[in-house]
Structure 1
């Protein structure tokens, strides 16, 4: 039932500047400065003893998995510091002693809270009791768990059809929580299970599935040590996956070469100081990238086509550049590829890419005689209209070189959230898997829905159009993570109910359905005791290994519950105990959940036992060079179109990026020291020549607009900063600039938003701010 009452909440929060200070970009990643920053955050949020005790157990075999990224742990782990600066910040953020209790929400209305920045909201601390925001109210108030479950059941019973409910999943959920959540959604009757991978690596999954038969990477951690060449494309490991730097360092020490392909040169690939080594604390560190190719935004395909054409020309001379035995035995599409690639004009490809031909030739020389090649990538390749084709073009290189199914070679999509890959593996998916459905029916004894569900974009549209009325979030900050912030906010506000299972306050708790619930949950670092027995979770890292995670800290409150228990109790309340699945039993014993995962999810086997210690790898057909599931039983070499971007004279191509003080939408601080920006996030990086052309000076105030399909979107009040970025390209932080990304423009076949290639205009304002010295 529609409600005319509207809360006057801010979608973007504060749009004021915070005394910016600029410095030279820090050219050395990690080192003692990284250690200092990590400890500073931990001591401030948790205290010294709590910090040190938790850090010593993070990423250890008998401890808990880092709540930040999904980079794998080495088998020979440091006993003192098997974590990075951002991992330490993520732990401090989760395990903070600050608490957002009922008193906070009694004092502050949601309207007042929404005026604060995302950084300020996060700093209120941990949520410690269930809260409800009732219709016609602007204050959250406490509610008992039983009452909360009853309210959810009541709303679900009102829906005319199960597809009016949407169940969103964040990638920080455990395998056990995600599996139970997905089974409840199916038992309720819908496949509406959008998840955060729809917004990031869905393009990877589609491209790898089409070409290699599995939507995951093929490498293991040790492969990076043995590679002759590692290509890092559209990724900033120094900030986003800092522990990856240690693996790259081993590659370098073994004689390997690293090629960086990215519009921005990132500090982590300039010089890395490993804080675990004396040379990294006292010495000069390791120069990482042997070659940096500052490609224009989303012109990776022209660059790769140019490299591949040059390699093909060399191969035509001696027939030794490409692995023809591999091509003949394992691939299809070589002739069509070769015919197509030779039609391109090299000068045109070079102009599109925007790099020096001498640098391209250096890349060709590195690749020409190399057999062990790894391609790593992240959002810089996936979040474009042609994101799927971007990845397929890099896969072509690996197939032509036979760089798959051998040590030191393969695909390496670097996932963000710590268990986003595991969520998908255990069944969080909006599409229908008939084999999984059959196993659900056989072992869980209910009929799962057979109609395709909604992904993130489709869920936004359904809520916006009033076709979806109940919105559940298992973690995450959906409003800030999704594209087109205003549209997304309108969509959520059209719902009758929004439910969020969360650890910390974020903006999606303030921009809600008519009725909203916050259900506080344990963090990954906290002990999870159930009936006198400590439970543990399992997670899957970005290379497909499943391992255990067991918290060690005292829970922040006696009134928070684990994600599996919350889901189980919601399901038990809705079904009133009348369902073939014993939800309550699974919520109280995660071993039972793992038994069902083994039966239902593909590739899992004896997980409770095999996840101990180092854990175990899920099956991966590429490692065995088994392409039987693909056409002709072969890996597919593909023909991919060039990206089509037409910029007006006054337009620029915007890529959204992270600062060094954030992980995804969580803002830990206001500094980005690797880029020399302190105490501010509302900035735009632009080439000095472009600034001169527009008559802009450093720290001029501008607005940014984008226009798609006749709809004008605007991001207010940003500061201009000259930076080493290719002309015609600009960069700015998300989520502040997500407001410019149109929800209905996304990658073909994956529907991943175009957050890394948005056409925008810059509008100078009259005022200018002064830098704080």
Structure 2
């Protein structure tokens, strides 16, 4: 068998025929710049973005190189910054003109498109409007509400964009207040990573650094859409391919970024228009079947090893446990089981196994296509198994690389945003701040929502994000937010979570990362951690959108000071006056990772906080990395005819919608669509443009449906459907989540299609 390129795109379905990047990317940025009124100051901000001394992008968490490109931002990063620095304002006049009940009927895009929030606002139930308030009045009222509530009935949520300094203060505030109910966006995306990797190799984060991509000779991609979710990653991928590294992708959807890339910063490529072919081959497996596909690769490796040794048995013997049980399990699998589960052939998997067998240094990259499944932890464990078989852990050019979404979601966990007390140095916190931290396990996102459903949640504080729109089971949860005694939303723009409120709600506007943060008469800097565990300083220079805005640390400190009794070891006003003091505290609480924090803040490329796995130091119960036998060949639960995977578009970052186009999938002008293969359209007698209802099919008696989706034929495996997040989140059941981590199974939703009467 000869190596063959990725299967050709089905030309009868929509697709983007050009490379990712290139002129399409530049035109998209230009369109959004005109739409939001980008100024010359915004251009200057983009020039400094992701560079030492500049500000770190609020979009993805991909690494920042020590020698940055002329433009170290991508299409989505530029959109995020333009969105942040819009000239549009959403102030008291807007809220005086619109009742909250009216705003509930607005689209997600229309809510955020009103522009930057400018003043602290309090919800007035009598008029059903947000009304202006002062910062002091807001802090005192919120503090009084928190004092009146049982701390155990409240939850403090953090989106992934808050800085390390803010996150540290937020976690400290929660524990001084009396709970560990610190849910965050990681609970909805990569908590599966934190649990599965910690169990397998002793580290809850990926093991790779940027330099590894300069020496690897094979990269395996599983369930990660680089072109939309982390486009700057395409530069090291392209460099790797051009020096001879092989890229193999497993994904149900053909994502353009992993098929072809044209560097917008290369004049030769822009003039030539060809770009670089990335994946070779690109295999479209069924949703949630990565376990089966990896099992097939491992089975081929064992067969090949019987003829010519290629498994690193010396490494396996010295550094792992559980290998014999894993080998017995894989050898006993029947090929018909594997092929049926994943939809790939034995020959498909043999080709990739041979590529892997020939490689010397392999990196495995994955995203939420692995994490957001009921058996997502098993998928990650299987990927670790594959790497361990050939010693691809703890050496240069090899390792595992989960790609995170939010720009500091990994860093928040590093400095204490966690519902798990065992992950936080509570004894050190107790000693430094002279208090008794709560030791009971807190609430993750699933726990918070269950508490909302059964009435135990009484107070909610949200540090950024759009929690009510990002979660599962929205038809059940949406009406309940209005019954909370306290709902505090710290935000930059209006969103869905801000209009699902009742009496006791506050909307507190904060600075964006690109804006100048002056405290104590001096400009302040903050920091964040990227996907590869490097810490970067960030300093904004733009004038704030309003003189009424406060920084996130100042807002957290203001609420905390109004809530908590005096403690001579806790200096909220002093910390806000000088963020360097907060970094000194972080270094004191986490000395192994943050020593000399302030001195290293603006190191080019960031400073590495380290990972023991790189020295083959396995901080597991056994002291070794562990092979795991999977419980199943598919991450899905039960039998179902159709599985829905929720997707983000090219004009979107998480719940923020920049527009209705999805250029890199060849789709424009509508987000209420259902992508389906022509095979399944024929099976159901559906035609392009038909309007249907999509209904969850969990087998319970809870109705979950989304009406009015338009049928679009798309290149997908049989049985696989795709639709946009968050529009189809109401279909996801709260109880459908990774069994080990609680991460909602957004990529494995059992559904059925029901016809609707023609519209219009």
Q: Tell me the TM-score normalized by structure 2.
A: 0.96
Residues in 1 aligned to 2:676 and 2:268: alpha-carbon distance in whole angstroms: 35
Does residue 600 (structure 1) correspond to residue 589 (structure 2)? The answer is yes
Residues in 2 aligned to 1:54 and 1:144: alpha-carbon distance in whole angstroms: 30
Residues in 2 aligned to 1:647 and 1:684: alpha-carbon distance in whole angstroms: 22
2:629 to 626, 639, 648: 639
Question: Which residues of 2 match residues 188-227 of structure 1 at below 5 A?
Answer: 188-227=177-216
Residues in 1 aligned to 2:230 and 2:137: alpha-carbon distance in whole angstroms: 41
Unaligned segments of structure 2, at least 5 residues: 1-12
2:422 to 433, 449, 455: 433
Asked whether the 8 Å contact 2:373–2:636 carries over to 1, the reply is: no
Does residue 123 (structure 1) correspond to residue 113 (structure 2)? The answer is yes
Does residue 296 (structure 1) correspond to residue 286 (structure 2)? The answer is yes
Quote the residue 1:135 is aligned against: 125
Per-residue CA distance 1:605-634 (angstroms, 9 max, x = gap): 11111122322111201111101x313311
* Aligned pairs, number: 743
Quote the residue 1:103 is aligned against: 93
Residues in 2 aligned to 1:411 and 1:648: alpha-carbon distance in whole angstroms: 31
Question: Which residues of 2 match residues 448-527 of structure 1 at below 5 A?
Answer: 448-527=437-516
1:732 to 692, 705, 723: 723
Residues in 2 aligned to 1:336 and 1:684: alpha-carbon distance in whole angstroms: 42
Provide closer, same or farther for how the CA distance between residues 295 and 257 of structure 1 changes in structure 2, counting only shifts above 3 A.
same
Asked whether the 8 Å contact 2:374–2:637 carries over to 1, the reply is: no
Residues in 1 aligned to 2:69 and 2:399: alpha-carbon distance in whole angstroms: 26
Provide closer, same or farther for how the CA distance between residues 132 and 172 of structure 1 changes in structure 2, counting only shifts above 3 A.
same
Q: CA deviation at 1:513?
A: 4.0
Where 1:703 maps in the other structure, the secondary structure is strand
Quote the residue 2:5 is aligned against: none
Q: CA deviation at 1:467?
A: 1.2
Residues in 2 aligned to 1:298 and 1:271: alpha-carbon distance in whole angstroms: 25
Provide closer, same or farther for how the CA distance between residues 158 and 374 of structure 1 changes in structure 2, counting only shifts above 3 A.
same
1:690 to 657, 668, 680: 680
Higher mean displacement: 698-707 or 420-429: 698-707
1:657 to 647, 650, 662: 647
Residues in 1 aligned to 2:33 and 2:521: alpha-carbon distance in whole angstroms: 30
Quote the residue 2:35 is aligned against: 44
Higher mean displacement: 609-618 or 401-410: 609-618
Asked whether the 8 Å contact 1:471–1:492 carries over to 2, the reply is: no
Quote the residue 1:552 is aligned against: 541
Higher mean displacement: 725-734 or 28-37: 28-37
Does residue 388 (structure 1) correspond to residue 382 (structure 2)? The answer is no
Q: CA deviation at 1:694?
A: 1.0
Quote the residue 1:257 is aligned against: 246
Provide closer, same or farther for how the CA distance between residues 659 and 592 of structure 1 changes in structure 2, counting only shifts above 3 A.
same
Per-residue CA distance 1:467-502 (angstroms, 9 max, x = gap): 121100000000111111122324423311100110
Quote the residue 1:16 is aligned against: none
Does residue 408 (structure 1) correspond to residue 363 (structure 2)? The answer is no
Residues in 1 aligned to 2:448 and 2:15: alpha-carbon distance in whole angstroms: 43
Residues in 1 aligned to 2:34 and 2:614: alpha-carbon distance in whole angstroms: 43
1:53 to 11, 23, 44: 44
1:620 to 611, 619, 624: 611
Per-residue CA distance 1:383-406 (angstroms, 9 max, x = gap): 000010000000001111101111
2:303 to 307, 310, 313: 313
Residues in 1 aligned to 2:127 and 2:343: alpha-carbon distance in whole angstroms: 54
Quote the residue 1:718 is aligned against: 709
Quote the residue 2:144 is aligned against: 154
Per-residue CA distance 1:173-214 (angstroms, 9 max, x = gap): 000000000000000000000000000000011110000101
Per-residue CA distance 1:533-559 (angstroms, 9 max, x = gap): 000001100100011000011100100
1:287 to 272, 277, 280: 277
Where 1:501 maps in the other structure, the secondary structure is strand
Residues in 1 aligned to 2:685 and 2:628: alpha-carbon distance in whole angstroms: 44
Q: CA deviation at 1:35?
A: 1.5
Per-residue CA distance 1:25-44 (angstroms, 9 max, x = gap): 24310102202211331343
Provide closer, same or farther for how the CA distance between residues 30 and 254 of structure 1 changes in structure 2, counting only shifts above 3 A.
same
Quote the residue 2:620 is aligned against: 630
Asked whether the 8 Å contact 1:62–1:613 carries over to 2, the reply is: no
Question: Which residues of 2 match residues 538-549 of structure 1 at below 5 A?
Answer: 538-549=527-538
Does residue 237 (structure 1) correspond to residue 237 (structure 2)? The answer is no
Residues in 1 aligned to 2:181 and 2:306: alpha-carbon distance in whole angstroms: 50
Higher mean displacement: 32-41 or 640-649: 640-649
Asked whether the 8 Å contact 1:464–1:494 carries over to 2, the reply is: no
Asked whether the 8 Å contact 1:176–1:593 carries over to 2, the reply is: yes
Per-residue CA distance 1:679-698 (angstroms, 9 max, x = gap): 11000100001101111111
Quote the residue 2:744 is aligned against: 753
Quote the residue 2:21 is aligned against: 30
Where 1:631 maps in the other structure, the secondary structure is coil
Where 2:157 maps in the other structure, the secondary structure is strand
Asked whether the 8 Å contact 1:685–1:721 carries over to 2, the reply is: yes
Where 2:671 maps in the other structure, the secondary structure is coil
Asked whether the 8 Å contact 1:226–1:254 carries over to 2, the reply is: no
Q: CA deviation at 1:281?
A: 1.0
Quote the residue 1:323 is aligned against: 312
| Pairwise CA RMSD | 1.5
Where 1:539 maps in the other structure, the secondary structure is strand
Does residue 267 (structure 1) correspond to residue 228 (structure 2)? The answer is no
1:399 to 372, 388, 395: 388
Residues in 1 aligned to 2:447 and 2:69: alpha-carbon distance in whole angstroms: 44
Where 1:88 maps in the other structure, the secondary structure is helix
Asked whether the 8 Å contact 1:119–1:669 carries over to 2, the reply is: yes
Quote the residue 1:767 is aligned against: 758
Q: CA deviation at 1:443?
A: 1.3
Per-residue CA distance 1:273-315 (angstroms, 9 max, x = gap): 0111123312200000011110001011011101100101111
Residues in 2 aligned to 1:44 and 1:728: alpha-carbon distance in whole angstroms: 39
Where 2:405 maps in the other structure, the secondary structure is coil
Higher mean displacement: 596-605 or 193-202: 596-605
Provide closer, same or farther for how the CA distance between residues 645 and 449 of structure 1 changes in structure 2, counting only shifts above 3 A.
closer
Does residue 172 (structure 1) correspond to residue 161 (structure 2)? The answer is yes
Residues in 1 aligned to 2:693 and 2:319: alpha-carbon distance in whole angstroms: 52
Residues in 2 aligned to 1:537 and 1:137: alpha-carbon distance in whole angstroms: 39
Where 1:767 maps in the other structure, the secondary structure is coil
Asked whether the 8 Å contact 2:219–2:362 carries over to 1, the reply is: yes
Unaligned segments of structure 1, at least 5 residues: 1-21
Q: CA deviation at 1:228?
A: 1.0
Question: Which residues of 2 match residues 178-189 of structure 1 at below 5 A?
Answer: 178-189=167-178
Asked whether the 8 Å contact 2:374–2:635 carries over to 1, the reply is: no
1:372 to 361, 364, 373: 361
Asked whether the 8 Å contact 1:569–1:587 carries over to 2, the reply is: no
Residues in 1 aligned to 2:376 and 2:482: alpha-carbon distance in whole angstroms: 30
